Amino acid sequence: MIRIENLTLGYGPRTLLDGVSASIPAGALTALLGRNGTGKSTLLRALAGLGETRSGRIALDGRDLGSLSPQRLAEIVAFVTTERVRIANLRCRDVVALGRAPYTDWIGRLGREDAGIVAGALAAVGMSDYAERTMDKMSDGECQRVMIARALAQQTPIILLDEPTSFLDLPNRYELCSLLARLAHDERKCILFSTHELDIALSLCDGIALIDPPTLHHLPTSAMIRSGLIERLFSNDAVRFDAATGTVRVR
Amino acid sequence: MKSRSALLFPLLSLLVAAFFVVDLTTGSVSVPLDEVWAALTGGEVAASTAKIVRSIRLVKAVVAVAAGAALAVSGLQMQTLFRNPLAGPYVLGISSGASLGVALFILGAPLAGVAANGVLASLGVAGAAWAGAAAILVVIAAVGRRIKDIMVILILGMMFSSGVGAVVQILQYLSHEDALKTFVIWTMGSLGDVTAQQLSLLLPAVGLGLALSVVAIKSLNLLLLGEQYARTMGLDVRRARRTIFLSTTLLAGTVTAFCGPIGFVGLAVPHVARMLFRNADHRVLLPGAALTGAAVVLVCDIVSKWLTLPVNTITALLGIPIVVWVVVRNQSVA
pLDDT for B325 equals 83
| pLDDT average, residue stretch A224-242 | 86
Mean pLDDT of chain B: 88
Query: What residue ranges do the domains of chain B occupy?
Result: 84-261
A54-96 pLDDT, tens per residue? 999 999 999 999 999 999 999 999 999 988 888 888 999 999 9
Does some domain include residue A102? yes
| Chain A residues with CB-CB distance to B215 below 8 A | 106
pLDDT for B109 equals 75
B147-170 pLDDT, tens per residue? 878 888 888 888 888 898 899 999
Does some domain include residue A210? no
Q: Can you give the pTM of this predicted structure?
A: 0.92
- Alpha carbons B240 and B251: distance in angstroms, whole number: 16
pLDDT for A104 equals 94
**Cβ neighbours of residue B27 under 8 Å, at least 6 residues apart?**
B52, B56, B57, B305
> Shortest CB distance from A98 goes to which of B222, B283, B330?
B222
DSSP A66: G
Expressed as residue numbers, the domain containing A142 is 80-156
Burial class (CB in 10 A: 0-12, 13-18, 19+), A167: middle
Does some domain include residue A4? no
Band of residue B121 on the pLDDT scale cut at 50, 70, 90: low
Of residues A250 and A7, more confidently modeled? A7
Does some domain include residue A134? yes
| pLDDT average, residue stretch B242-251 | 92
pLDDT reading at A243 higher than 80: no
The separation between the first and the last C-alpha atoms of chain B, rounded to the nearest angstrom, is 19
> Shortest CB distance from A81 goes to which of B218, B229, B333?
B229
Of residues A251 and A231, more confidently modeled? A231
Does some domain include residue A119? yes
ipTM of predicted assembly, 2 dp:
0.93
> Nearest-5° angle of CA B265, CA B268, CA B270?
100
Of residues B109 and A187, more confidently modeled? A187
| B232:A108 CB<8 A | no
The separation between the first and the last C-alpha atoms of chain A, rounded to the nearest angstrom, is 40
B25-82 pLDDT, tens per residue? 998 888 888 889 888 888 888 888 888 888 899 999 999 999 999 999 999 999 999 9
Identify residue B108 by its one-letter amino acid code.
G
| A83:B229 CB<8 A | yes
A151-203 pLDDT, tens per residue? 999 999 999 999 998 888 888 889 889 999 999 999 999 999 999 988 899 99
B174-185 pLDDT, tens per residue? 888 888 888 888
Give the H or E element holding residue A78.
strand A77-80
pLDDT reading at B331 higher than 70: no
pLDDT for B334 equals 44
pLDDT for B2 equals 62
| A87:B218 CB<8 A | no
Q: Closest Cα partner for A194 from A36, A44, A66, A17?
A: A44
pLDDT for B117 equals 57
| A108:B231 CB<8 A | no
pLDDT reading at B111 higher than 80: no
pLDDT for B12 equals 97
Least confident of A144-148, A179-183, B91-95: B91-95
Q: Evaluate whether the domain defined by B84-261 bears CATH number 3.30.360.10.
A: no
A17-38 pLDDT, tens per residue? 999 999 999 999 999 999 998 9
Of residues A52 and A101, more confidently modeled? A101
A106 in contact with chain B, both atoms CB, cutoff 8 A? yes
Max Cα distance, chain A (Å):
60
- In chain B, % of residues over pLDDT 70: 94
| Chain B residues with CB-CB distance to A85 below 8 A | 225-226, 229
> Shortest CB distance from A85 goes to which of B225, B277, B330?
B225
Total count of domains within chain A: 1
pLDDT reading at B1 higher than 60: no
Band of residue B140 on the pLDDT scale cut at 50, 70, 90: confident
CB contacts < 8 A, A to B, total: 84
- Min CA distance, A173 vs chain B (Å)? 23
- Alpha carbons A6 and A25: distance in angstroms, whole number: 17
Chain B contacts to A (CB-CB under 8 A): 1, 214-215, 217-218, 221-222, 224-226, 228-229, 231-237, 274, 277-281, 283, 330, 332-334
